[in-house]
Amino acid sequence: MSNLFASLIFRKRNQRKNERLLQIHTPNGIEQNNFITINGIEQWVSIRGENRDNPILFFVHGGPASSYSIFSPLLRYWEKHFTIVQWDQPGAGMTFSRNGVERTGKLSFERLATDGIKVVEYVLEELRQDRLILVGSSAGSLTGVMMAKRRPDLFHVYVGTDQNSPDPNHIGYQAIIEALTKAGDKKGLELVEKMGADPANWNQKDLEKRHQHVIKAIKNVPNMIMDLVLPAMLASPMHSFRDILDYFKGMSFSSHALFNELIHFDGHQLEKDFELPVFIFQGDSDIITPTETARAYFEALKAPHKEFALIRRAGHLACFARPEQFLEELITRVLPYVKQKQGIKKAQ
């Protein structure tokens, strides 16, 4: 029985199970889901953790408009170590459901970064902390890098995962060609070769088809749609069927609105000079945002401190494909650095 089929059959049971799982009973815990007004529209923010004094982990989700709040049950045990913040960006998830197309307004990565910074300021004030850990995933890694560059004073570190990166030497493109060839996907190979290596020549319809072929070509790792996104969505106690429909409507709206800017990001030089420490945790089999390009980007960037780690047997959405290892990397690599800096500040 496939994960998706099982999720449909046992939806209500899984929702009840996750509802119980998500309850927090610790004395200093926090379980807060609400809308806050940012730049004129109501935006949905979730703050969860067993100790509100723990370091804050702030997710900038990908997509565009692929809200990660559906994965809260999967990350429940992370909440012993971190206070986890999920923000449904303009055009995404609960925020899109509340505002629709008209009130959402025009989308751009500039706007997402500006709104994201305001949400971060709200979270820090709410939890009475002065910095947090910024996690940018997939398309959210572009927004995350912009936020990290613009307001480094708000963040302990930047953690990139499913990191979007420039591909001037087409190493990511070649990785996709090799994967499709190995999978024997002739139609996918024809499509990718027709599109070529330069994103400036792509159209949205072809890119969506390309993603479908590439996702299927990645073997021996969880399928990001059938094994991760859809089962998590159906089992989420916070999401009704109407919310799920709005989720996909938001993705369609946002993908169209941000498409030209997204594919031309390779034409811009992604920021390579950071005032923050940078950690990149990339799926070892990711060819949506290829591991090879993420590593090349990591090698080229400058930061006070930087570390790169491969998430084993993971493709795209590595932190949800292998949450145990991802948490281990956060605890062993990022958390000591954050606690050291906090200790220095208290000593001062």
DSSP per-residue string spanning 100-145: HHHHH----HHHHHHHHHHHHHHHHHHHT-S-EEEEEETHHHHHHH
Q: Residue 244: which residues within 8 A CB-CB, separation 6 or more?
A: 233, 234
Q: Considering the entire predicted model, what is its pTM? A: 0.92
Query: 183-222 pLDDT, tens per residue?
Result: 899 999 999 999 998 888 889 999 889 988 988 888 888 8
The per-residue pLDDT for range 254-271, each reduced to its tens digit, is 999 999 888 877 545 577
Please work out, in degrees rounded to the nearest 5, the angle formed at the alpha carbon of residue 165 by the alpha carbons of 87 and 258. Answer: 50
Question: Got the DSSP string for 235-259?
Answer: H-TT--HHHHHHHHHHHHHHHHHHH
Quick check: helix, strand or coil at residue 318? helix
Phi, psi of 51, deg, nearest 5: -145, 110
* Domain map (residue ranges) of the chain: 38-165+238-347
Location of structure tokens 């949205």: 204
Predicted pLDDT of residue 246: 93
Structure tokens at 156: 């302990």
Is 68 in a helix, a strand, or coil? coil
How many whole angstroms separate alpha carbon 285 and alpha carbon 161? 13
Residue carrying structure tokens 């004030």: 125
pLDDT of residue 136: 97
Instruction: Tell me phi and psi for residue 99, to 5 degrees.
Output: -105, -25
DSSP 267: G
124 exposure class (CB count in 10 Å sphere: 0-12, 13-18, 19+): middle
In percent, the amount of the chain with pLDDT more than 70 equals: 95
- Length of the chain equals 348
Distance CA 167, CA 164 (A): 9
- Give me the mean pLDDT over the 105-117 stretch: 95
pLDDT tens-digit readout, 55-102: 999 999 998 999 999 999 999 999 999 999 999 999 999 999 999 998
Q: Which fold has domain 38-165+238-347?
A: Rossmann fold (3.40.50)
Cβ-defined contacts of 175-182 (< 8 Å, 24+): 175/287, 175/290, 175/291, 175/292, 176/210, 176/214, 176/217, 176/287, 176/290, 179/214, 179/217, 179/218, 179/287, 180/213, 180/214, 180/217, 182/217
**Helix, strand, or coil (residue 57):** strand
CA distance 223 to 261: 27
